[in-house]
Chains A and B, each alone.
Chain A
Amino acid sequence: MTTTDNGVNVQALLDAREALKGAPEAAQFIWRATSTWKNGVHSTTTIQNFFGLGQEQSHKTKTEFTADHPEIFAAEDNGITPIEYLLVGLAGCLTAGVASVAQNRGIQLRSVTSTVEGNHDIRGILGADSDVRNGFNDVKVTFAIDADASREEIEALVAQSQKRSAVYDALTNPTSVTVEVA
């Protein structure tokens, strides 16, 4: 018997699934980010703490993200555009899903790369055409996967990873968002 090792501890995830079936309150997580305006459309957002398993949790380190607009938007381009962070989130989530599902199905991965493209008509955010939405018109993800598996098995990995993806769900389904002044 060969051993598949994609570096995902599937057993821990399966154990967590079983444990949380009987403890829905422990499954309630709150993810948090704190953002500060710098200048212009430049801001930084830091992430370190979150809540889960009934208590405050912390990442090993604090991570800082810089958001800005490119120079063709007459900005300083100190960092990527906020909407590009959605691409980061989607790619990270789907890739994690592919690795986890592959591990669970005993498929050894050699390489997984993807490109994510968001088609965006910026007349929406500029208010140039009220019929154009602000966000992406559509998003396309293309995976290239080298693994010990048939094309059909690889397609099934990618499909299953979408089925269990938090970011895919957050992008494809409406979410209630409340924005208020403290």
Chain B
Amino acid sequence: MSQRVTTVVIGAGHAGLAASHFLSERSIDHIVLERGRIANSWRRERWDSLRLLTPNWLNRLPGHGYGGPDPDGYMTAGQVADFIGDFATDTAAPVRENTAVTSVRRTDGGYRVSTDEGDLDCATVVIASGACNAPVVPECAAGVPDGITQLTPFEYRNPGSLPDGGVLVVGASATGVQLAAEVRRSGRPVVLSVGEHVRLPRTYRGRDVLWWMDAAGVWAQRYDEIEDLARARRLPSPQLVGEPGTTIDLNALTGLGVEPVGRLAVVRDGVALFSGGLRNVCSLADLKMRRLLAGFDEWAGIGDGPAGFEPTRIPAAPRLRLDLRGGEIATIIWATGFRPDYRWLDVPVVDEKGRLRHDGGVVDSPGLYALGLPVLRRRRSTLLHGIEDDARFVAGHLAERLTPRVVA
């Protein structure tokens, strides 16, 4: 026997709970399914030192702001989990924990959601299972010699848990630069493989760079106004760390003694080969950062031009090869991104790259919705506080669908 409910929300993170909040507001009966505990990935899939990149004052869920003593600070992963957990309690969200979805398929009246605790039949489904369910590791990892410890950010906890010896960190988005810095501070030699990246200062003209993005309206840009939406949605996370006043760009890292090399191209006969294009990816990042800062100045009516940021310093001859058999490197950390996992979704709405096909959260199958994905409806959808508008819209669209239309 299956249970009937109007709407099933998959995932009790910030997105699923925000959806639940707006569904409750509209008296739409629903259940939020959670494979683990509320805010599961914040509790289980984060390294020890991780903090949110957004300052506390910016972290809002519908009707639920930060009320603590440090509005300019940054939450730890545990604090984020508690923040989301408190929101779930305040909104009395109907969450069913420890219930993993094994399949979602279409039925005549909507969808059947199968779980390891039984089936549910529903008219509509909101997929809020997250954008970062699994680390992405490039194929060339298969060529890494046996003696080397390989870790993804899901497995890495802290530098103390690494074997002695050098560390190759592959990837220079937020994850890669943060891990490179803390591993280097533990005294280990660190080589950082750098592809295309987003350089940002933590503060600009005395304010958090995310304050500028918020105030200047960058986050408010709508998904259907973005020229290259596919690119915006796959943009790597910026080189930021949740530490007041701390910029963690490549200049900061080379200052700590981290050695930058180009993008990892291939591992051939136990030797890692890096692109010779490091200079260009750094030039691109410098140019884009200056353009963004100049945009802030223009918005603020400041005319003297963005000052104080020197170009990324690059070694005269970055290494092109690194022998992984030579003992120099004991550990490789793959900070090469994350992907969503839709293996349980038996509705043909996933593209060849494994991404959900949706138009601003309205998935390409009637009654199916998505929340909590990067740039879902606005640039701010990527961040915690972006969920409010998105969830309100999705709940509204979903309610519209449930209302029988009177045909004149």
A interface residues (Cβ-Cβ under 8 A, vs B) = 138, 152, 155-156, 159-160, 162-163, 168-169, 171-174
| A163 engages B276 (CB within 8 Å) | no
Task: Known A168-B277, A173-B275, A174-B273; judge A163-B265 contact (CB<8 A).
Answer: no
Cross-chain pairs A/B with CB under 8 angstroms, 6 sampled: A155-B283, A162-B277, A163-B196, A163-B284, A168-B277, A173-B277
| B265 engages A173 (CB within 8 Å) | yes
Q: What size tier do the contact residues of chain B reach? A: 10 to 19
B interface residues (Cβ-Cβ under 8 A, vs A) = 196, 262-263, 265-266, 268, 273, 275-277, 280, 283-284, 287, 290-291, 317
| B280 engages A159 (CB within 8 Å) | yes
| A155 engages B287 (CB within 8 Å) | yes
Main secondary structure of the interface of B (DSSP, over half): mixed
Contacts of A138 in B (CB 8 A): 276, 317
Of B196, B268, B283, most buried by chain A (CB within 10 Å of CB) is: B283
Contacts of B277 in A (CB 8 A): 162, 168-169, 172-173
Task: Known A138-B317, A171-B276, A172-B275; judge A152-B266 contact (CB<8 A).
Answer: no
Contacts of A173 in B (CB 8 A): 263, 265, 273, 275-277
Contacts of A163 in B (CB 8 A): 196, 280, 284
Contacts of A152 in B (CB 8 A): 287, 290-291
| B268 engages A174 (CB within 8 Å) | yes
- Which of A156, A159, A168, A172 is within 8 Å of B262, CB to CB? A172
What are the nearest 5 A-B pairs in CB distance? Answer: A172-B276, A172-B277, A162-B280, A173-B265, A174-B273
Contacts of A171 in B (CB 8 A): 276
Known contacts A155-B287, A163-B284; 13 additional CB pairs below 8 A are: A138-B276, A152-B291, A155-B283, A156-B287, A160-B284, A162-B277, A163-B280, A168-B277, A171-B276, A173-B275, A173-B276, A174-B266, A174-B273
- Which of B265, B284, B317 is within 8 Å of A174, CB to CB? B265
Select from chain A the residue with minimum beta-carbon distance to B278: A172
Of B275, B291, B317, most buried by chain A (CB within 10 Å of CB) is: B275
Bound complex: CA A168 to CA B281 (Å): 12
Bound complex: CA A156 to CA B292 (Å): 14
